[in-house]
Structure 1
Amino acid sequence: MSEIKADILTKVIKKRHSATHKGDYGRVLLIGGNENYGGAIIMATEGALNTGAGLVAVATHSLNLTALHARDPEAMYLDWRDHNLASLIGKVDVVVCGPGLGTGKFAKQILQLIGEYTTSKQTLVLDANALDILAQERQLLPKHAGTIVLTPHQMEWQRLSGIKIPYQTDSANLAAFNELIDQQKAILVLKSNQTHVYDNQGRVFVNPTGNPGMATGGMGDTLAGIIGGFTAQFGGELDSVLAAVYLHSLAGDVLAQNNYVVKPTSLSELLSQLMQQYASK
């Protein structure tokens, strides 16, 4: 097991050059936010926007349009029942699915659609309700994405893997992860007070940053969006995911110096400033 260190940020985050445009910094599609949980997909969206994804689209329930555009006018909106969603899935670099998605029939149809239209050139980040659905129906796990990133907290991982929280050791987690995703490039981000990151080559990384002020609703949704923003810009490799995990907690630690509770939306606001500090040539 290796510890994630701050130098992962300078390794991954690159200084932006003049002769570039928004298309050079990745296209992210976030899918989620039913009629009760619009905030989840908005917080994920802010994670992607504030880490610099060039183009961000959000497919969500129509009830969320006003709130989304009031907070984040940079994001393109699509009603998730629109037939154009299928074609949009195939056109982006990264799909983030799950925050506030729900677990009903329509949510399962969304996962089926993703499975049909994602390609080997894309990264797929599955979070929250998407993982709850997979725990019930593993056959809905998309098979064609270039890289799949799973981002469960420990209870979601218990439902998905069958391993109870006290027994979630590195060896047990790796065995369950490899059984779940066979012969495909994949990364598991197991969120806890010390998040562990696994790949299906058997490597294990632990994140030393983070604090209890971050134990609040929406923190995981924000991380999913940050991972989406990083993999869209810097590629769907393990280093991009490690950097996203580290930056997320680093921002939380900076805010915790003067705040008892770290709000996910406040954390997102700090991301761009921290990235500028660590951007390499």
Structure 2
Amino acid sequence: MSTITESILPKVIKKRPSDSHKGNYGRILLIGGSENYGGAIIMAAEGALNSGVGLISVATHAVNLDALHARDPEIMFVDWHDRNLVKLIPQMDVIVCGPGLGVGSVAHTIMTILTQSISAKQTLILDANALTFIGQEPELIPQTAGLVVITPHQMEWQRLSQIRIPYQTDSANVDALKRIFPTQNAILVLKSNHTHVYSKSEPAFVNPIGNPGMATGGMGDTLAGIIGGFTAQFGGNLNSVLAAVYIHSLAGDQLAKNNYVVRPTEISALLPKLMRHYAN
């Protein structure tokens, strides 16, 4: 077991050259937000936005449009019923699917489209209800993504891996990751008080920071968005994922110095300042 340290941040976060434009920093599509869970996809999108992605689109239920644009006018909206969604997916570098997705028929159709449309040039991050679908229907597991990152909490991982929480050891988790994704490049971000990160070939990593003030709804959605943001800008690889996990908790720890509860949206808001520091 290796420990994620602060040194991962300057290794991954790079200073931007003066001749930058938005196309240099990745294109990301976030999919989720059913009628009752629009906040989840908005928080995920804010994680991506504040981590610096160049172009961000959100495919969600139309009821979420006003709230999304009131908070974040920088983000493009796509009605998830739009038949052109299938054409949009291949244009993205990274796709985050699951926050607030729900398990209805529309969500199932979206998962099917995603499975059929993803390519080897793309990173796919699956969270929340997207994990429910692939656990129930293995045929929805994407076979062609360049990198698949799954971000379950321990109970979601129990349902997906069939490993009860007390038995979620490092070796058992890696074996399950290989079983669920036998041919894909896959990373497991297993969320807990000290999140563990697993790949199929590298040693397991533990995130040593974080605090109980972060036990707040939307924290995992925000993390999924930050992972999306980092992989879109800095590459679909293990180091980008480790840096995203670490900076999420680092922001939470800084906020907890003066706050009993840490809000996920405040973590997102702090990211640009932290990233500026480590880029220099």
Answering whether residue 268 of structure 2 is matched by residue 271 of structure 1, we say: no
| Conserved? CA contact 1:29–1:58, under 8 Å | yes
Deviates more, 1:167-176 or 1:50-59: 167-176
Q: Residue deviations 1:157-191, cap 9 Å, x none? A: 01100111111111111111110001211100000
Residue number in structure 1 paired with 2:156 = 156
SS of aligned partner of 2:249: helix
Aligned length: 280
Distance 1:112 1:230 in 2: 26
Aligned-pair CA distance for 1:134: 1.3
Distance 1:68 1:102 in 2: 18
What are the within-5 Å matches in structure 2 for residues 114-193 of structure 1? 114-193=114-193
Aligned-pair CA distance for 1:109: 1.1
Q: Residue deviations 1:255-279, cap 9 Å, x none? A: 0000000000111100110000001
| Conserved? CA contact 2:143–2:183, under 8 Å | no
TM-align CA RMSD: 0.7
Residue number in structure 2 paired with 1:22 = 22
Distance 1:83 1:234 in 2: 31
What are the within-5 Å matches in structure 2 for residues 29-48 of structure 1? 29-48=29-48
Deviates more, 1:104-113 or 1:187-196: 104-113
Q: Which runs of 5+ in 2 are unaligned?
A: none
What are the within-5 Å matches in structure 2 for residues 1-281 of structure 1? 1-280=1-280
Q: Residue deviations 1:97-140, cap 9 Å, x none? A: 00000012221111111111111000000001100111111110
> Match of 1:8, as an amino acid?
I
Q: Residue deviations 1:189-226, cap 9 Å, x none? A: 00000100000114200000100000010000000000
> Match of 2:182, as an amino acid?
D
Distance 2:9 2:253 in 1: 15
Aligned-pair CA distance for 1:20: 1.3
TM-score normalised per structure 1: 0.99
Distance 2:133 2:183 in 1: 21
> Match of 1:73, as an amino acid?
P
| Conserved? CA contact 1:111–1:142, under 8 Å | no
> Match of 1:67, as an amino acid?
A
Distance 2:47 2:2 in 1: 26
TM-score normalised per structure 2: 0.99
Distance 1:147 1:135 in 2: 18
Deviates more, 1:241-250 or 1:165-174: 165-174
Distance 1:138 1:160 in 2: 10
Instruction: Give runs of ≥4 in structure 1 deviating > 3 Å.
Output: none
> Match of 2:12, as an amino acid?
V
Distance 2:273 2:103 in 1: 36
SS of aligned partner of 1:90: helix
**Matched-pair identity in %:** 67
> Match of 2:223, as an amino acid?
L
SS of aligned partner of 2:91: coil
